[in-house]
Amino acid sequence: MISFIVMNKPARFVRVLLASLFLASIFVRTEPGWAAGGTGDEPEPGVRQESIVVNYTRYEWWLLRWYDSSLMCQVFIDHEGWPTNDEIFVDCGGTIYNQWINTPACGELEAIDGNTAYCQGLYLYAVSNAPAERTILVDLPSPSVAVTLTGCDPTSIDNFCAEIPSLLLTGVEPLPNEQITAINVLINGVPYGCTAPTCEVPLSPTAYVGTTFEFWADSSYGDSSEHYSAQVRVIDSGVSASPTGSGWYVDVLSSQWQGRETASCAQVWQAFPPVGGPPNWLRTPEATELLATNMPYNYLAGRLIAQGLVDASACAGGGLLLNGYSDACGLEAALPLVEEWQNRFDARMVEVANETGVPAQLMKNIFAQESQFWPGMFRVPYEFGLGQLTDNGAEAVLLWNPDFFNQFCPLVLDENACARGYVYLDTESRAILRGALALEAKVDCPDCPAGIDLAHADFSINLFAHTLLANCEQVAQIVYNATNKIPGSVVSYEDLWRLTVANYHSGPGCISYAMYTSWAARATMDWEHISDYLTEACEPAIDYVDKVTSSP
């Protein structure tokens, strides 16, 4: 199909133009192979790519000079509408592109008696469109290796095994006509391999820091998987839990681990949890009832009285102090509901903990400090939800938790804008996104019972868990920046969590300064010594962390 469209060209000059175009076309460069239906690129040997032929519509445009209608350049595109500036630049080069981009409009004043020969610069002319095909290269999925244990399936939180298991490495080949031919393993640099799709590597007792495994798979395709690593720790439990009279705590840290979920943030920090499992404040109880508390929260009592959920009219002043907290009389009147209310979100905390890996007990301890389980905004303006999300908190989760960002951003902004990540958004878009997140966490609802939208309160728990995961990532970067070392090789798992809690409460400025200063002073890299270097303005984080990490 041929179509003739002249941009800004009087119709009575078309026949003259066609003749000149026919002559000029003899001297035009050859169309690129991909647009003409050539063979295109071919996969390189050993590279996981495949050539496929796709059909498309090819549009041909000519760039012509106004004063003599001579052909300057051909442009081939695969979409309707005018060629873009980039497409003109690629096909025509910088010199002709500059002439085109600087061409003024040719109107009635420029064209004398309709003769456009007096117009300056270049114009576009649509020549044809026709079916075409081209060859493109498609990346194929790569092989990988999955890591599990054989001889033990630890199910409890302490990762206990009656006998020392073996590390089972299983090659995964996604291509249907190929197979894994070998698994290669380096144990602390010493080779150990298997010429099979699986490899069972016997384990032995290790030091507290564990043993390093490097492994990868070879494929019949002629290539290999990515090189992976695993840190494996095998520690004598000191208990008689097997026929042999001993038992073992076995922990594995690897991006390829397919067994029971590792302790929260352990993989991010490359830090083993304490032998035998984390402390209570970093656990999620199997039964929701084990999260229950019965603390006499004056702030929560004050909110319940103020919202009319508790009748404290028999108390002087209605049971309320000027700051909105309850007095002793008001607390006594509200105590039954206070106990019920502080436990009403427990089931949701356990559910979110199982979904995200963030310990339910840690969430509950932080909520107790942040809001006393009253999710509405009262004490501090513009802090929302059970975790009292701030603008800085919203920024942290959007910046440091890309999985959450990728799910949330397209709900608010254009998908193309979100594709590059939070850091590449303009200032206004970032503010819009943070504001939308705050609105989702905001639970105040004048028309709802007790003035609280409980559905949003549930959402705020999920948001808070993702915020803590973001703080895990941020603390990992802070420790690495200060020490140039893997976080788990410098700071213990428990103290990395203490730093994360402090980071959530006081911000990265406080933690970064303390970390850099303590490392420079060659201090012991634990929370007790790192916190000594917090500035005066940041010192409230010490008491906050102590309260949050106290076992329930």
Give the chain's domains with CATH numbers.
Answer: 2-139 (no CATH), 144-260 (2.60.40), 360-548 (1.10.530)
pLDDT, residue 5, reads: 36
**Helix, strand and coil in the chain, % to nearest 5:** 40, 20, 40
Burial class (CB in 10 A: 0-12, 13-18, 19+), 432: middle
The tokens of 408 are what? 């949330």
Contact (Cβ atoms closer than 8 angstroms) between residue 369 and residue 544:
yes
pLDDT, residue 441, reads: 79
d(CA 293, CA 364): 10
Nearest to 398 by CA among 380, 412, 381: 412
d(CA 374, CA 17): 78
Helices assigned H by DSSP within 255-327: 266-269, 298-306
d(CA 176, CA 413): 39
Question: CA angle at residue 255 from 249 to 259, to 5 degrees?
Answer: 45
pLDDT, residue 10, reads: 33
Q: Which residues of the chain have pLDDT under 70?
A: 1-46, 107-115, 155-156, 239-245, 378-382, 551-552
Contacts of 362 (CB under 8 A, 6+ apart): 281, 282, 468, 497, 501, 548
pLDDT, residue 379, reads: 61
| DSSP H helix total and E strand total for the chain | 17, 13
Contacts of 319 (CB under 8 A, 6+ apart): 301, 305, 310, 312, 313, 326, 327, 329, 330, 331, 333, 334
* Amino acid found at 535: T
d(CA 277, CA 344): 28
